[in-house]
Structure 1
Amino acid sequence: MREGYHSPQVDVEVRLNTNESPFAPPAAFVDALAAEVGRIDWHRYPDRAAWDLRVRLAELHGVAPEQVFVANGSNEVLQVLSLTYAGPGRSVAVFEPTYAMHAQIAKIVGSEVAEGGRAADLSLDLDEVRRVVAEHQPAITYVCSPNNPTGMVETEETVREVLGLVPGLLVVDEAYAQFAPWSALSLVDEDTPLVVTRTFSKTWSMAAARLGYLVAPTWVVAELEKVVLPYHLDSLKQAAGRIALDFVGEMEQRVSTLVEERGRVVAELVDLPVEVWPSSANFVLFRPIARDGDAVWQALLDESVLVRNCSSWPGLDGCLRITIGTTDEDDRFLAALRKALA
């Protein structure tokens, strides 16, 4: 029996386990969306192509609307990619530890999962990429950048090298890209089998909306549109995405605030008896040195602070992951962690 994807939802005072934004979207966004609700023709189906939203996203990224595909969260984007390009008789390559849904969705659609490992420092091991690609000839190869759960970002040189190795699509999952110094979007063109996926859940403070998208060659998007269910993206969600794009400046300010706070949290962590991985995302992976990770997770929970226990993930024995929250939330976490490690 296959298990589903789980992230514990516990009633706590400080929840730092799901990489959500700690900040609500601007009040003006909420007001504009509320006004838009009254203008929706609820007795009509939504725009099947979500064209207006695709136009706005294309303008944001400097691509054509035909290169943009939108869906119900980046997970549905990944699902439609797998339904279109993978499935029975084909393989999907992942490099653990990484985002669990890459392999989960591949299995659900009947693909073989070609699993490679990362290097000892959890960076992408190009020799391992070469091995997996040579042995399995994957239809889709996933690279998560910044990687979840490590927070490590792949360089342009690494992505270009992987592109030269894979026989099928290279999908770069950039759910946290706005926190990072570089994006693979600059490499997307009509002649390159590269797909970059994004989400509104994190930096846009819209996790409740479940809205995601990808940028790819037009020929990839055309195939996805043959597979996706009709009218899959409702009118309210399309409106929310369009309106959010009126607030790019506010989104960038929230990102800047969280990047600064991430630096403060990391500086505090490196003074504690924990191993810390460099992060270009809105979370930080760490491993307690002097105490069992499960015990530290429980001790934090006893202080009403919930972080992600990654100990069961491949290669992450004893590791925990904290989402960067508000200054007050992070102070609560740091105080609870010091107590747990004492």
Structure 2
Amino acid sequence: MASLSDLPIRDDLRGLTPYGAPQKHVRYALNVNENTHPIPEAVARDIVTSLAHAVLTANRYPDREFTALRESLADYLGHGLTREHVWAANGSNEIIQQLLQAFGGPGRRVLGFPPTYSMHPIITAGVGSTWVTAERDADFEIGPETAVRAIERHTPDLVFLCAPNNPTGTGLSLETIAAAYDATDGIVFVDEAYAEFMPKDRPTALTLLPGRERLVVSRTMSKAFAFAGVRVGYLAADPVIADALRLVRLPYHLSALTQAAAVAALAHTPEMLAMVDDIIGQRDRIIAELPELGYRPWASEANFVLFDGVDDPQATFNALLERDILIRDVGISNALRVTAGTAAETEFFLRSLAELGPGGAR
């Protein structure tokens, strides 16, 4: 069997590794920040009905502009946005890829602040751009001055920010986003994949869009809408951004089935988002109870919790896996990350972690 070294692969891809979240069949999968709550049955039935109608015309190409979906997403986002401000793709990762294809490429730099979403540097490498990094402030924060210093040092073509951040759950102020925008002539991309889990008084970067044609805010239906398996991500920005992405997107990149399923789900927004409050409650329970077990949880505005005080993360990971619980080792020293799931999942996770004793399995 041949290996990658036997192929004429691009030099800048040699030695890289693909996205590697473990895929294991376990009872409690709490490692990739999915919404573990099932879609309500009544909503699922309406989605299936929409899919059935779409299948009847599947011999034809889908709406290349996914007009109905963009209108539904604009209605959901509010803030005066119209369908012209919205773009969608097969998950927010494809949004990132299209953005980098349009504004990145060889010879261009993308600035990130690790620890951050692991796909940002992977997709950056995939389009031949250079990933450059800057340190965060204490407690994984990024203040306006820190962002500006990093931009002045690296002069990036794109700046990537997570609000809240993955894998730490840290929030991001509008002041930092605005300062980053003012400090660069490039694209400022704000990844709001977990926006629905933020505190109600935390303003979204969507409020900064007017007058900022280089600001892009992305969202996903994977988390709050429990649509991870459908693959729908989207962005809001000045309409000119969508014009740029049309230059690089594949024709008919969103299938008729994907469009139909997403529009149907958005028609049931209240029912779909009813899960969010429960997930926030489970997240806050994890944060409240981990100190009693000898761990320090980091403040989180997402649907997961990063906690440290783990003596041997790999041993603890394996010990929990033996109990049919899959969480995530994100490569931060003495730390692990767990998704906030259902009440039953939270209870089993906390009880299992308690059985391992302070510091986890040794």
2:327 counterpart SS class: strand
1:123-134 → structure 2 map (5 Å cutoff): 123-134=141-152
Matched with 1:225 is 246
Verify: 1:100 aligned to 2:118, yes or no: yes
For the Cα contact (< 8 Å) 1:296–1:341, is it kept in 2?
no
CA deviation vs aligned residue, 1:35-94 (integer Å, no higher than 9, x gap): 223322011000000011001111222302111000000000000000000111110000
Distance 1:29 1:250 in 2: 8
Distance 1:248 1:98 in 2: 29
Matched with 1:304 is 324
- Give the C-alpha shift of residue 190 in structure 1: 4.3
Distance 1:303 1:35 in 2: 39
CA deviation vs aligned residue, 1:241-299 (integer Å, no higher than 9, x gap): 1111111111231111111121111111122211210001000000125x222221122
1:11 counterpart SS class: coil
Indicate which of 150, 154, 160 corresponds to 1:142. 160
Matched with 1:4 is 18
Matched with 1:339 is 355
Runs of 4+ aligned structure 1 residues displaced above 6 Å come to: none
1:65-76 → structure 2 map (5 Å cutoff): 65-76=83-94
Distance 1:166 1:339 in 2: 50
For the Cα contact (< 8 Å) 1:80–1:224, is it kept in 2?
yes
Distance 1:29 1:224 in 2: 32
Distance 2:290 2:172 in 1: 23
Distance 1:303 1:26 in 2: 28
2:164 counterpart SS class: coil
Verify: 1:327 aligned to 2:343, yes or no: yes
Distance 1:39 1:124 in 2: 47
For the Cα contact (< 8 Å) 1:67–1:221, is it kept in 2?
yes
Using the size of structure 2 for normalisation, the TM-score is 0.90
Q: Which amino acid aligns with 2:167?
A: P
Verify: 1:54 aligned to 2:70, yes or no: yes
Distance 1:269 1:206 in 2: 29
Q: Which amino acid aligns with 1:105?
A: I
Using the size of structure 1 for normalisation, the TM-score is 0.95
For the Cα contact (< 8 Å) 2:189–2:215, is it kept in 1?
yes
Distance 2:269 2:207 in 1: 19
- Give the C-alpha shift of residue 11 in structure 1: 2.2
For the Cα contact (< 8 Å) 1:133–1:165, is it kept in 2?
yes
**Identical residues among aligned pairs (%):** 39
Matched with 2:95 is 77
Unaligned runs of 5+ in 2: 1-14
Unaligned runs of 5+ in 1: none
1:215 counterpart SS class: strand
Matched with 1:279 is 300
2:257 counterpart SS class: helix
Verify: 1:178 aligned to 2:192, yes or no: no
For the Cα contact (< 8 Å) 2:50–2:264, is it kept in 1?
no
- Give the C-alpha shift of residue 226 in structure 1: 1.6
